[in-house]
Chains A and B, each alone.
Chain A
Amino acid sequence: MKDINNDSRKPNVFKTYQDLFFKSLFFVSALISSLMIIIIIIFIAQKGISPFLSSYEYGQQNIISFLTGMVWRQDQAIYGVAFIIINTLISGFASLLIAFPISVLTALFVVKIAPKPIGYFIESAIEILASIPSVVYGVFAVGFIVPLIQTLANIFKVQTAGGSSLLAVILLLSIMILPTITSISITAIKAVDIDLEKASYALGASKTQTNFKIVLNSAKSGIFAGAILGLGRAFGEATAVSMVAGNKMFGPTFNLFDITRTMTSTMLAGLKETTGLDYDIRFSVGLVLMGVILISNLLINFVKNNIGKNHA
């Protein structure tokens, strides 16, 4: 007891400096990573807003017609982003609608139902799926999904642009966001307190009842975090999507077999070869996209807070 008191009265100078050093190191790291997002936002906003200011060098653009326009064609300098927002939301949420239930059930199966080796095998397969670069998904979609949709269209006697379509985008995005949502859901389900389950069994609940009402409900937060990340990937995917979307010049597109255009594919197309207004306006689209993602995340959070409330 006495020794310890002595120590605290005469602090070790080296240790104090060591603490101080690491404290500032952590602080600087945190500062850099949080500054990055601020720098990115400022840069994109500066570039993105500039076409709508009266001082813009290539002629001021009308922000109302930009936000409500239903045609996007660079050759006539008509830039309307409204239909692209709708198209992006449709393809993003539709793919989430497909991928979310599959992902959550897969995660439940892997953690709670499957025998250990099978669960381990599936989990590794999903991790590999998550690490495949998007351009590989794009090549796969062009070579496999697109012809598949062409075949489907022939059966239903509808005409497509060789298979490039909204449906192709939705299927492609579903496959791409599946591993993201699944792996985060697996982590969330693994973290559920075993005592909760035991209590449920003790009250006479069956395994299925426990899995759906107790496990999923407790893992809700993590699962929805997965959904947000998945949706973010769906909205943000540019390379693979622009390979199968067909990039329609007007819209919005509701027909599954019609071609479509998303915000990221719009930003990407011809970026390396263009200059002037056509270049700057892509930053405006990026700014709108960030807004869309923010609102979508808030929406998902709202859903999360209102789901399964009566069980909590």
Chain B
Amino acid sequence: MTGEQVLIFLAGIVGGALRVGAPFLFVSLGECLTEKSGRINLGLEGVLVLSAMSAFGASYLSGSPWVGVLAAALTGALLATLHGVLCSLPRVNDIATGIALMLLGTGLAFYLGKPLIQPQAPQLPAIALGEWSSSAAVRSALQVNALVPIGLAIAVALRWAFANTRTGLLVRLAGDSASAARALGYSVAGIRIAATAAGGMIAGLGGASLTLFYPGSWNEGISSGQGLIAVALVIFARWSPLRCVGAALLFGGAGAIGPALQSIGIGWGYHLFNIVPYVLTLLILVITCRPGSVVAGSPGELSSR
């Protein structure tokens, strides 16, 4: 490897961390908010795919990518609300409902998104971080999604809201002790549905960044389980929105190894490098979880920890 290649490779990893990491960031923040209220939403995978489709469709039809972003957030909130409402019914388990919504979300997206596979939709603008370099490869590798700053702002806002606002405290109360929330006269189910819906809204932005920035097109293989990895990411981040940012970037970087190697002409083991994020997730779960004990920071009401 020459110095030039090393630079391109490193830029590929850093740029890829921001590019591949963006959907992880939004989905993990959405999951973090949902889990803080005491529910798990495995259906965020379905939310991600459906909102990716609706973002692409809205952007294509309206000609503005920001309309697409809005549509993605609304779709995400809608599907997540369904999850929240279903889980509030008696004897309905949130894990099973999540799996069902995963299937429903992808089914709906593929069904409605069939005519969108061919066309090109207007894309989100990119923020150029690589202007300092003379190498075109480095510059193109460091094009960053315009939604990433929004994601960072949401992370900071969530962190602040959980610590300082009445709403944030209520969400945490519903997640840590449902009976305490009930004793104070709040509807636990209502709080959880609202938190799940808001989480779905944030996760929907992740869908928008998939189809409106990277990879930037709609097809049926658009998501490769980011919505599920997010559940593991939140455990890794110990339910802290700020740590979710770091976790998402780490996973983005791990997912970027394969494409970055390919960009400098190393094609061997492409599929092996693609499984690095999954293996990393498993390793992190093995390291952070302990049998029979609860991970520090875990909301007390979570059905499976």
Q: Is the A/B pair a real complex?
A: no
Binding site for A on B (CB under 8 A): none
